[in-house]
């Protein structure tokens, strides 16, 4: 891993001749919500090169479009597809725009677990609240006793591909894919998502 870091620390001029006002900010900017990783040079041959764009909050219309596409199981980037290999596995790349669905990054979809957990918990809590209010005092506790654990296991599988694409949409909302990044995805001839995956094939 010897890629050239091309970003300039916050507070330093592009020429690097001025002092760093607050070098600590640089680390914060590279931290993730699963998050924006450090940007690296796009011409490196390293398949783990990460998105080059900085943090950027999309407009409301763009956000609705990104998440709407994910909820329809389409590619958040282009709205096309196909993006699913099967229900529990995404294809390496979108069949339309060619973006690698893990953006070439290790452990990219760890963040989707958060979406999965939050959505599962919310669905169960809302269901519990609605049934409690609607049926009080004749609440079917036995149903909860057995149905709750079953739902807790079943729901994560039922929403699995949605949460992965929602995570990609969330990432694209903060780090839009630049034309250079898309070109890099399309140019890659690999059939795996990240360099680490290569050893498994
Ligand atoms: Zn696409």
Q: What is the pLDDT of residues 108-162, one digit of tens each?
A: 888 889 989 999 999 999 999 999 999 999 988 998 899 999 999 999 999 999 9
Give the separation between CA 102 and CA 83, rounded to whole angstroms.
11
Taking the centre of ligand 1 as the mean of its atom positions, its distance from the CA of residue 74, in whole angstroms, is: 8
Over residues 27-83, the pLDDT tens digits come to: 333 333 433 344 444 444 444 555 555 677 788 999 999 999 999 999 999 999 899
Q: Which structure tokens are listed for 144?
A: 């909860």
Give the separation between CA 115 and CA 161, rounded to whole angstroms.
11
Taking the centre of ligand 1 as the mean of its atom positions, its distance from the CA of residue 114, in whole angstroms, is: 23
Rg, C-alpha atoms of the chain: 21
Taking the centre of ligand 1 as the mean of its atom positions, its distance from the CA of residue 102, in whole angstroms, is: 12
Taking the centre of ligand 1 as the mean of its atom positions, its distance from the CA of residue 44, in whole angstroms, is: 23
- Torsion on CA atoms 65, 63, 175, 98, rounded to nearest 10: -10
Burial of 156 (0-12, 13-18, 19+ CB in 10 A): middle
Q: What is the pLDDT of residue 105?
A: 82
Give the separation between CA 89 and CA 80, rounded to whole angstroms.
17
- Whether the full predicted model's pTM is greater than 0.85, yes or no, is no
Q: Tell which wins on pLDDT, 144 or 24.
A: 144
């Amino acid at each position: 891993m010897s890629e050239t870091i091309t970003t300039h620390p916050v507070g330093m001029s592009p020429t690097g001749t001025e002092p760093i006002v607050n070098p600590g900010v640089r680390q914060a900017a590279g931290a993730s919500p699963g998050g924006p990783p450090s940007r690296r040079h796009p011409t490196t041959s390293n398949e783990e090169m990460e998105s080059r764009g900085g943090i950027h909050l999309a407009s409301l219309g763009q956000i609705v479009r990104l998440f709407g596409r994910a909820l329809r199981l389409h590619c958040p980037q282009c709205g096309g597809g196909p993006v699913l290999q099967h229900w529990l596995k995404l294809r390496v790349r979108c069949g339309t725009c060619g973006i690698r669905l893990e953006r070439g990054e290790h452990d990219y979809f760890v963040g989707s677990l958060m979406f999965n957990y939050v959505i599962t918990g919310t669905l169960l809590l809302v269901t519990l609240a609605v049934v409690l209010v609607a049926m009080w005092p004749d609440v079917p506790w036995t149903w909860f006793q057995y149905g709750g654990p079953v739902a807790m296991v079943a729901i994560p599988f039922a929403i699995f591909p949605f949460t992965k694409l929602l995570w990609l949409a969330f990432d694209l909302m903060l780090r839009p894919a630049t034309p250079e990044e898309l070109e890099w995805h399309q140019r890659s001839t690999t059939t795996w998502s990240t360099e680490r995956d290569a050893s498994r094939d």
